[in-house]
Amino acid sequence: MLSCKDVTRLCSEEQDRPLTLSERLNLRMHLAICKACTNFRQQMVFLRAATRRYREGRKEPDGE
Amino acid sequence: MSTAEVGNGIDWNDPSIAKIRRDMLRFAQLQLRDAGAAEDMVQEALFSAMKYESSFAGRSALKTWMFSILRNKIVDHIRKSSREIAGSDLVSGNAEDGDDFDALFNERGHWNPEDKPPTWADPEASLSQQQFWEVFDACLEKLPPKTSRVFMMREFLDLDTDEICSELGISTSNCWVILHRARSGLRMCLDSNWFANGEAAC
């Protein structure tokens, strides 16, 4: 069983490499019962979205 | 279409260009942490944009197009200079200060009750708020410099970890660790400085 600390590492690494099948299964099992790690993972996904937006100049096309 | 686009051409004297230039400069400074180099990159990117104006087909926003040119310039610059900025520094930077995330967990690796990530209220909406980006900038600047550099290469320049490793002479797993540290730091900073009123996770 993964600890929360292991899970945060996987939530970051899944943005950089494909997780193995067993990592994915273990991650899914943990997230099913852990709200804190689920939040952490959503926040990692949000960070990715934010940096994508940032590097395009932050705003909507032509927006002020 | 931007106000700076006139017919098939771009009006380089339009005030909107000056504004894009300022945003590009801020982006480059954050990326390079070197005001002189940032100025050079932006200048080069602007020259390229003017030179290859005809290749701007209006498929993307003008600003997005100019940022993509700038990004390429910065990537080239990093490729040229990364060996000088010393991978060895990065490797020894394993314990950069202020990134002791282990303290968030108990000895069994579970979150301390007070450190559990809370739910963030409507994070998507934040992306269109100017104040959010000010906090985001401040949080990026608070990351330890080497951590920040790897994070920027990964997220803003969109290099993959293999390339970052080879550019900086660090191992792939070290790279993952540094990225994890960067994201955790940024997450915590945004959590306390922007999303602080979220509901605590049970």
ipTM: 0.90
| Residue B200 belongs to a domain | no
Q: Count A/B contacts: CB-CB distance under 8 Å.
A: 118
Q: What span, in angstroms and rounded, lies between the C-alpha atoms of B52 and B72?
A: 14
Same domain, B178 and B106: yes
| Residue B199 belongs to a domain | no
Q: What span, in angstroms and rounded, lies between the C-alpha atoms of B50 and B29?
A: 22
Same domain, B70 and B109: no
Residues spanned by the domain of B63: 5-81
Structural contact between residues B99 and B185, judged by C-beta atoms closer than 8 angstroms: yes
Q: What span, in angstroms and rounded, lies between the C-alpha atoms of A26 and A34?
A: 12
Give A-chain residues touching B60 at CB under 8 angstroms: 61
- Point out the domain boundary residue: B30, B56, B81: B81
CATH number, domain of B109, equals: 1.10.10.10
**Residue B109: CB atoms within 10 Å:** 14
Which among B120, B133, B160 has the least Cβ separation from residue A43?
Answer: B120
User: What residue spans of A1-64 are helical by DSSP H?
Assistant: 4-13, 21-33, 35-55
Q: What is the number of structural domains in chain B?
A: 2
CB-based contact A61 B117, cutoff 8 Å: no
State residue B187 phi and psi, 5-degree precision: -60, -45
CB-based contact A61 B110, cutoff 8 Å: no
- Point out the domain boundary residue: B59, B81, B103: B81
| Residue B30 belongs to a domain | yes
pLDDT digit of tens for each residue in chain B (202 aa)? 555 766 667 888 888 889 889 888 988 887 777 889 899 999 999 999 999 888 887 767 788 888 889 988 988 887 777 655 544 455 444 445 445 788 899 999 999 999 999 999 889 999 988 899 889 988 988 888 888 888 988 998 888 898 888 878 889 999 999 999 999 999 999 999 999 854 444 4
CB-based contact, B70 to chain A, within 8 Å: no
| Residue A61 belongs to a domain | no
Separation of CA B136 from chain center: 10
- Point out the domain boundary residue: B81, B116, B146: B81
Same domain, B58 and B128: no
CB-based contact A61 B124, cutoff 8 Å: no
State residue A55 phi and psi, 5-degree precision: -75, -10
Structural contact between residues B156 and B137, judged by C-beta atoms closer than 8 angstroms: no
